Structure 1
Amino acid sequence: MSIPNFTMRQLLEAGVHFGHMVRRWNPRMAPFIHSERDGIHIIDLQQTVPMLYAALAFLREVAAGGGRVLFVGTKRQAQRPVEEHALRCGQHYVNQRWLGGMLTNWKTISKSIDRLKQMEQRLEEDEGNLPKKEVLNLQRQRVKLLRSLGGIREMGGLPDAMVVVDTNHERIAVAEARSLGIPVVGVLDTNSDPVGIDYPIPGNDDATRAVILYCELAANAVLGGLEEEQKLAGVDVGASEEGGVGDTSLDVDDETTEADSEAPAAATAEVAAPVDSPDEVNSSGEAEAVTVNTGGEMAPEAAGSDGAMPEGAGSEGTEPEEAAPPESAVPETVVETEQ
């Protein structure tokens, strides 16, 4: 999967070009504003498209390198899309209140995550043996911790990139990421400050359809990176396996060639020799043919009373006299039944 494709029409239909009212603008966003209409700033989508593409390429690169991506959106219209698409691409999210120090004080946050896991384990194992009051207390604490830490409980460390829907609303998260050197992909409305955002995306950060589009494209970019990572790993493994199979095939071919060279002699040895003398016939008047298998052991095969070759021993139309072994091989294949 390559970088997700999107069109200008998709951005227009999602309302990405609508900014805030003119009186609420941030002058630092002036380079990204196209015009003003009915007291509302219109964002220049011709600048949004390449900047959005660059942000998606960065997320794909992070995911392809095995990095962790954190989706952040705690405002009402962003909570559900952030959680849904973060889970869809196997990444992490914060869609409730951002706890101060969630990144800069990760050591304490990780202890709270461990406490949450221990609490869930205790409720699962000892719920029937605990007093009802204690069970209710544990359940309340669990719900509270899940609301704040449920999306990062499996993150296992600081993220390698952070996607922020509204940089103004998530200014604490952006400040923590900047202090730790974590790259930030942020959606910037006309009232936002682009300073400190590594991969800015000028666009509407309030419209639900626009927020869903951002999250969907970001998740698709992450999935593309994960697919590339698995593909590269598969190629490496496949190359090593292919080399092993090639070596084995060479050995097999050598053995097959050697076996093919011995096949005519083995086939000749398996053909019953014609019975010409009475000494080679048993008391019942029937001939007993003895063949030599490839392992050097002798195995008797019942021949017909007329001394014909067993069915299927040679090709069609082949007579025993033509397939008979040389005279030097006859004494080794025929055993006299009467002394």
Structure 2
Amino acid sequence: MAKKVEVKQLLEAGVHFGHLTRKWNPNMAPYIYMERNGIHVINLYKTVAKMEEANEALKKIAASGRKILFVATKKQAKDIVAEKVSNVNMPYITERWPGGMLTNFVTIRKAVKKMASIDRMKKDGTFNTLSKKERLQVDRLRAKLEKNLGSISEMTRLPGALFIVDTMREHIAVKEALKLNIPIFAMVDTNSDPRDIDYLIPSNDDASKSIEIIMEQVTQAVAEGLEERKSDKQAEKEGKEEPKAKTETKKEEPKETPKPTPAKVDTKPAPVVEKVPEVEVDVEATKEAVEKEKKAPKKAAKKTDADDLTKIEGVGPKAAEALANAGMATFADIAKGDPEKIKEVLTEASSRMAHLDPTSWPKQAQMAADGKWDELKEWQESVKGGVE
């Protein structure tokens, strides 16, 4: 369990310092404590509460096996984010945000494959057959790709969530995530608009100490989620092996033959059994009762535990919650559901989910319900990372 951060620690790190009052965004008013010397002061008690909420959601996403893409291209955040995020093996962008990174993910994957093909050329000796000028050009291309896309080389599909430092600077990333309904986690300062962010952490996004303490908490939550996933897999593996071991080791022991005991002679007289009266059975009435029982509607089966609907590409935590509240908490429910009805449920829950397209959700849910996880993953990767 990650150590809970205290308000005093945030205060010492300068997390409470906002921007000048004339640069503020009025939508941040609920998270501002006061104004001092022309600068807004952030309410750190709300920062702690929002951070716990965000960490819980990040933990669930990491435990489900989805990747979380961290974005921080400002100078004071680059090195901190790269160091902290690499420890939990998650992708990150610390150079310029490549336009279409999410909305044109297939093209970005081609660039990553190009980098892998250059590496293969160097291994199999093809690289040495090129001229000196060509080798120099290939090396420059490889260095450029490594700088911009090196950290996302293992990201084979769209991320499960985005964590952004400074949403004003990374506004393109925010727009792309909104278009694809990818949940957004972010450090939001007093000059930013919090309405587009799913899980915001009101905090100072300019000071390196402030960024470091927030990233420390966030990456700890991600690490916990990964550890939980690892332990669940281990338990599942052991559970499958245990029954086999039992059947192999269990041997039937020869039963001891009981020694014959002398029969006791019962000298008491046998009890007199009264004659049981005969009962007439109405065959026609019995047949009618059986027919009625067959025609009677069967009682609804007891609902099973809710499934992790976020494994369906396009379903975020909020969409999953809205579906569960509407009685569609399992993959089987979604598989039987009508996309138009699902769309109505989402729109009624929140106007922000009105743009979602649940056309492929029943198909994905059916694969998940049948346990065809590899087939589901292949399908999601083939259709632009799961987005139709």
TM-based fold match above 0.5:
yes
Query: What is the CA–CA distance in structure 2 between the aligned matches of 1:136 and 1:214, rounded to whole Å?
Result: 41
Query: What is the CA–CA distance in structure 2 between the aligned matches of 1:111 and 1:241, rounded to whole Å?
Result: 41
Runs of at least 4 residues of structure 1 off by over 6 A?
Answer: none
- Matched with 1:90 is 89
- Matched with 1:174 is 174
Query: What is the CA–CA distance in structure 1 between the aligned matches of 2:149 and 2:25, rounded to whole Å?
Result: 33
- Unpaired runs of 5+ residues, structure 1, are 262-339
Alignment deviations for residues 278-299 of structure 1 (CA, whole Å, 9 cap, x no partner): xxxxxxxxxxxxxxxxxxxxxx
Query: What is the CA–CA distance in structure 1 between the aligned matches of 2:219 and 2:48, rounded to whole Å?
Result: 17
- Matched with 1:185 is 185
- Matched with 1:215 is 215
- Matched with 2:161 is 161
- Matched with 1:68 is 67
Letter in 2 for 1:116: M
- Matched with 1:226 is 226
Structure number having the greater helix percentage: 2
Letter in 2 for 1:85: K
Q: TM-score, normalised by structure 1?
A: 0.72
- Matched with 1:147 is 147
- Matched with 1:299 is none
**Helix, strand or coil for the counterpart of 1:41?**
strand
- Matched with 2:372 is none
Query: What is the CA–CA distance in structure 2 between the aligned matches of 1:73 and 1:32, rounded to whole Å?
Result: 22
**Helix, strand or coil for the counterpart of 1:201?**
strand
**Helix, strand or coil for the counterpart of 1:19?**
strand
Query: What is the CA–CA distance in structure 2 between the aligned matches of 1:33 and 1:83, rounded to whole Å?
Result: 30
Alignment deviations for residues 204-225 of structure 1 (CA, whole Å, 9 cap, x no partner): 0011011112222221111101
- Does the 8 A contact of 1:93 with 1:152 survive in 2? yes
Query: What is the CA–CA distance in structure 2 between the aligned matches of 1:55 and 1:195, rounded to whole Å?
Result: 15
- Does the 8 A contact of 1:63 with 1:69 survive in 2? yes
Alignment deviations for residues 278-327 of structure 1 (CA, whole Å, 9 cap, x no partner): xxxxxxxxxxxxxxxxxxxxxxxxxxxxxxxxxxxxxxxxxxxxxxxxxx
Query: What is the CA–CA distance in structure 1 between the aligned matches of 2:172 and 2:115, rounded to whole Å?
Result: 24
**Helix, strand or coil for the counterpart of 2:155?**
coil
Query: What is the CA–CA distance in structure 2 between the aligned matches of 1:229 and 1:6, rounded to whole Å?
Result: 24
CA shift, 1:175, in A, is 0.6
CA shift, 1:4, in A, is 4.9
Residue 204 of structure 2 is aligned to residue 204 of structure 1: yes
Query: What is the CA–CA distance in structure 1 between the aligned matches of 2:214 and 2:127, rounded to whole Å?
Result: 42
CA shift, 1:150, in A, is 1.0
- Matched with 2:37 is 38
- Does the 8 A contact of 1:123 with 1:138 survive in 2? no
- Matched with 1:105 is 104
- Does the 8 A contact of 1:123 with 1:135 survive in 2? no
Q: Which shows bigger deviation, 22-31 or 240-249?
A: 240-249
Alignment deviations for residues 255-293 of structure 1 (CA, whole Å, 9 cap, x no partner): 5x78xx8xxxxxxxxxxxxxxxxxxxxxxxxxxxxxxxx
Root mean square deviation, CA, Å:
1.6
Q: TM-score, normalised by structure 2?
A: 0.63
**Helix, strand or coil for the counterpart of 1:229?**
helix
CA shift, 1:37, in A, is 1.2
CA shift, 1:61, in A, is 0.2
Larger radius of gyration: 1
**Helix, strand or coil for the counterpart of 2:205?**
coil
Identity of aligned residues (%): 42
Letter in 1 for 2:205: D
